[in-house]
């Protein structure tokens, strides 16, 4: 598989690469990102391999990420699929400078267009659910921006499945622009999204775009037990990557046990742990394009090697058993032999494709 063997995003006809370039590492504002020259090298290396799907957000590295992406995209803008996000506050203390509401969305889009130096955004995500804004307001505002040509497609990130389902149904009923992408945390360490979010996305036509497929670096094998004692100040995007790993809940004893299994499989295949972790996410048919957040050109080259990884059935089973989560009710109950017997009475049914 190569970066220039493209996939369609959700129910749309938009073609994107099978690995997206994450740019939260573009800019040193938070203490651990790449300076402009190195970020440019990463961007160019991704493009040279045929990559076209670039992910950023309004507040990544305080806006520097969008500025760098806009500068690097000059001359090739229309060849790229640039995704950005709104929701994060831009003026702490101002109640309307963040959130999911229309004012926040419109203002954020205008600011992103300026930083990206473009007249349209290919994919705009709602970044984080705020639990206050009516879904009608969100979906109508998305549709207005699409009709105005400032946004081409709408997506959503980090939101409960039942809310996403409401929004998609509402868009379908009212003829508004639907959601075509779902960005969620998904990795060998974080598999609870397999309970509701991933099945919902497959059923309702949202392409899954995983963030943190390497679990903030934990699955690369870079951390050990001594790193578990990180102390105060971990819950912040600033400082070190270890801070982020701890704040995201990936740097735990369980996470390190899983990382050990990943290293074992990587050694058997003669590849790196990062390549194993990324390749595993691509095994899920609902996943369109995991986001790779390389901080150096060498890390990018290593991550792209995931496209060539092939697991044996035994290796896939070992990774599954080491990381599986309980699906819980009603999924576990519905899968029990007694439930299936009283429901189907021995009738064999072929499941329809999603």
Residues with active-site annotation: 60
Q: Which pairs count as long-range contacts for 254-258, CB under 8 Å and 24+ apart, including other chains? A: 254/189, 255/189, 255/215, 255/218, 255/219, 256/218, 256/223, 256/224, 256/225, 256/228, 257/322, 258/188, 258/189, 258/219, 258/322, 258/323
Neighbour count for residue 75 (Cβ, 10 Å): 7
Question: The tokens of 55 are what?
Answer: 């992910």
Q: How far apart, in whole angstroms, are the C-alpha atoms of residue 127 and residue 116?
A: 18
- What is the dihedral sign for C-alpha 183, 187, 193, 194? positive
- Neighbouring CB atoms inside 10 A of 301's CB total 14
CA distance 167 to 178: 8
Q: How many CB atoms lie within 10 A of CB 353?
A: 6
């Amino acid at each position: 598989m190569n970066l220039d063997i493209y996939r369609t995003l959700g129910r749309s006809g938009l073609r994107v690469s099978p690995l997206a370039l994450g740019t939260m590492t573009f800019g040193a504002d938070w203490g651990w990102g790449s300076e402009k020259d190195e970020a440019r090298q990463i961007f160019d290396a991704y493009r040279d391999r045929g990559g076209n799907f670039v992910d950023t957000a309004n507040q990544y590295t305080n806006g520097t990420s969008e500025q760098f992406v806009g500068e690097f995209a000059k001359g090739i803008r229309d060849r790229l699929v640039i995704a950005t996000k709104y929701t994060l506050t831009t003026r702490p203390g101002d109640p309307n400078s963040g959130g999911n509401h229309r004012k926040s969305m419109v203002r954020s889009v205008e600011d992103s267009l300026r930083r990206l130096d473009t007249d349209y955004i290919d994919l705009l995500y709602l970044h984080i659910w705020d639990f206050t804004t009516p879904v009608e307001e969100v979906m109508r505002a998305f549709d207005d921006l699409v009709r105005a040509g400032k946004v081409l497609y709408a997506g959503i990130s980090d939101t409960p499945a039942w809310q996403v389902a409401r929004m998609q149904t509402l868009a379908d009923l009212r003829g508004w622009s639907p959601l075509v992408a779902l960005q969620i945390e998904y990795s060998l360490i974080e598999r609870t999204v397999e309970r509701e979010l991933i099945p919902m996305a497959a059923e309702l036509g949202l392409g899954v775009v995983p963030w943190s497929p390497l679990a903030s670096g934990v699955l690369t094998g870079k951390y050990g037990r001594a790193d578990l004692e990180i102390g105060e100040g971990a819950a912040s995007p600033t400082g070190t990557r270890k801070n982020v790993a701890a704040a995201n809940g990936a740097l735990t004893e369980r996470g390190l046990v899983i990382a050990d299994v990943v290293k074992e499989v990587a050694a058997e295949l003669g590849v790196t742990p990062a390549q194993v972790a990324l390749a595993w996410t691509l095994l899920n048919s609902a996943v369109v394009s995991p986001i790779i957040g390389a901080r150096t050109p060498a890390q990018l080259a290593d991550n792209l090697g995931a496209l060539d990884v092939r697991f044996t059935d035994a290796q896939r089973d070992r990774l599954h058993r080491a990381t599986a989560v309980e699906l819980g009710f009603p999924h576990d109950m519905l899968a029990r032999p007694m439930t299936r017997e009283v429901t189907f009475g021995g009738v064999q049914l072929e499941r329809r494709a999603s």
